[in-house]
Amino acid sequence: MPPFRTTRRACLKGIAAAGAASALFPLAAAHAAAPANAFDVRSHGARGDGVTLDTAAINDAIAAAAQAGGGTVLFPAGRYLSFSIHLRSNVALYLDAGCVLIAADPATDGGRYDDAEPNRWDAYQDFGHSHWHNSLLWGENLDNLTIAGPGRIWGRGLTRSGPGANRPLKAGDMPSSLGGADPMGERTRQGASFGAEMAGKGNKAIALKNCRNVTLRDFSMLKCGHFAVLATGVDNLTIDNLSVDTERDGFDIDCCRNVRIANCAVNTPNDDAICLKSSYALGAARFTERVTITNCQVSGYDLGTFLDGSYGTTQTEAPDKEGVCGRIKLGTESNGGFRNIAIANCVFAHCRGLAIESVDGALIEDVTVDNLSMRDLTTAPLFIRLGRRMRAPQGTPVGAIRRVNISNVTVSGANAPYASTVAGLAEAPVEDVRISNLTVLHGGGGGKAADAQRPIPEHADHYPEPSMFGVTPGYGLFVRHARNLQVHHVDLRSTANEGRPPVVLHDVDGAAFDHVRLMHAAGTPTFLLRDVRGLTVKEAEGMRDLARASHTQASY
């Protein structure tokens, strides 16, 4: 067979064929542009001047598209002031370049958001998780929905606060170490008037419930209230190339299946950036499963400074007093569970680390984390917690965490007091955690030798945060109540004078360390062990290989 050659004539033929295909399939050739026959909101009466309320015109354009069997609703360049917008099946919204969709303010703009619909299950998660209609854009039981385009959603008139779950505060829900003054205005019951203070207010930019085949792509979001995106019971969800800079949660993906989050940048100094949840808001325990989070950036820069490119770091604390937030997390709402989750190629900057939490009865299993770069963290790089807060129907058993594989993680500037932590319960240990190719450089003030000997409280029913145990007894890795822990090719160091050992294990069945470099001060052990059964250490820098069946209390 003669070698393949591309001639000028063949190339021209290819160009001509591509042009013909573009004529036949215009959306395939220019997928980022709105179609010419779009339903223009201005044709339906929208002014786009940022002063006139365009709510009715926008909803009229969406209704017209739905009545036509589907279509694209176009928002040309302009500033569209609106209260609740009702999304419809088979309708796409296209936010063109120069378009800003602005959430109106009930206090100043002469209107109100749709009322929060009743939810008999609101005792098990905060008010914001239990309602969807009180939002700028909302949809329920929809199919084939898209919001796309290079425009912006600005939640100017949305509120970030709201009541907590519709149940009395119980001991341990919000310990003093996590802001016992209730800084978010949550976690307290309002009695017969529960939620009354939210009447007419909106607290989410985009809220979706029980929808299928949803795509959010290419736009930016600024200051979007309690949630920029709340998706509950949504199957086949794609979130791609969004830039979000908001004061509370970015993406809350709750009880969803087949989710792809890719190429997004989410800045949330006061709350979580990308958060998978599995609440009881739908009245049943439903898994969040088959989820990929890839090529994303999360951060906790000052509000607004991510989108304007100044990346401010004047804010040092979130309202819970635990340092700025902005992380990727599984939990805290964790009733149904999480399985088949893959997180890869993500960057954490000036924020908290990765958190994997089951405290309300959830099963977490088959989680893979790979290729993370973290810098300037405000809490632990890795935090895996199995607890029993149990915001769940009576009789729900404690959950489980098993088969978590974390690899290729590089961290610099980790906050000194808090080690990466794997913490289960004595009656429910975390199982089958594998950590490999991890490099962590801790900074700031180091711990003292006395910190390694301090009794660590269990706090089984507390809200889970890395600081819940206080200063961890080891500076690099603290593991308690676990089975089958594997640690391979790990390098733990600190720039401070550190009086704590790098690794502390307590009540661990089966732990294997190999090819590890664990920096420690002279006279400080590498490992501090209590009730550890089946420890092996191989190829550890500065240590002989070790294989011991049982350690009631020991150090090496």
Strands 297-299 and 354-358: unpaired
Query: Is domain 41-118+131-165+172-352 in CATH 2.160.20.10, yes or no?
Result: yes
Report whether pLDDT(20) > 70: no
Question: Which stretch, 51-55, 185-189, 191-195, has highest mean pLDDT?
Answer: 51-55
Task: Give the per-residue pLDDT at 170.
Answer: 55
Reported as a single tens digit per residue, the pLDDT across 438-476 is: 999 998 778 899 999 999 999 999 999 999 999 999 999
Mean per-residue pLDDT, 287-294? 98
Report whether pLDDT(534) > 80: yes
Sign of CA dihedral 214, 289, 437, 381: positive
What's the half-sphere exposure (Cβ side, CA atoms, 13 Å) at 3?
3
Reported as a single tens digit per residue, the pLDDT across 172-181 is: 444 433 444 4
**Residues 285, 336 contacting (CB under 8 angstroms):** yes
Task: Tell me the DSSP string of 463-485.
Answer: PP-GGGGSS-SSSSEEEEEEEEE
Mean per-residue pLDDT, 9-17? 39
Reported as a single tens digit per residue, the pLDDT across 198-233 is: 898 999 999 999 999 999 999 999 999 999 999 999
Reported as a single tens digit per residue, the pLDDT across 113-134 is: 999 999 999 989 999 999 999 9
Confidence of residue 549 (pLDDT cuts 50, 70, 90): confident
**Residues 383, 348 contacting (CB under 8 angstroms):** no
Angle made by CA atoms 266, 219, 111, in degrees to the nearest 5? 95
Task: Give the per-residue pLDDT at 318.
Answer: 94
Task: Tell me the DSSP string of 88-103.
Answer: -TTEEEEE-TTEEEEE
Question: Coil, strand or helix: which one is 79?
Answer: strand
Q: Tokens 């996590």 appear where?
A: 178
Task: Give the per-residue pLDDT at 192.
Answer: 55
Torsion of CA 20, 25, 30, 33, to 10 degrees: 140
pTM score of the predicted model: 0.91
Sign of CA dihedral 193, 251, 223, 76: negative
Say which DSSP state 446 is in: P
**What percentage of the chain reaches a pLDDT higher than 70?**
90
Helix (H) or strand (E) holding 19: helix 8-24
- Compute the distance between CA of residue 122 and CA of residue 163 in angstroms, rounded to an integer: 11
Reported as a single tens digit per residue, the pLDDT across 37-52 is: 899 999 999 999 999 9
Sign of CA dihedral 513, 518, 524, 528: negative
Domain boundaries along the sequence of the chain: 41-118+131-165+172-352
Confidence of residue 18 (pLDDT cuts 50, 70, 90): very low
- Compute the distance between CA of residue 498 and CA of residue 501 in angstroms, rounded to an integer: 8
Q: Tokens 């378009």 appear where?
A: 99
Task: Give the per-residue pLDDT at 32.
Answer: 61
Confidence of residue 183 (pLDDT cuts 50, 70, 90): very low
**Residues 175, 462 contacting (CB under 8 angstroms):** yes
Strands 39-40 and 71-75: parallel
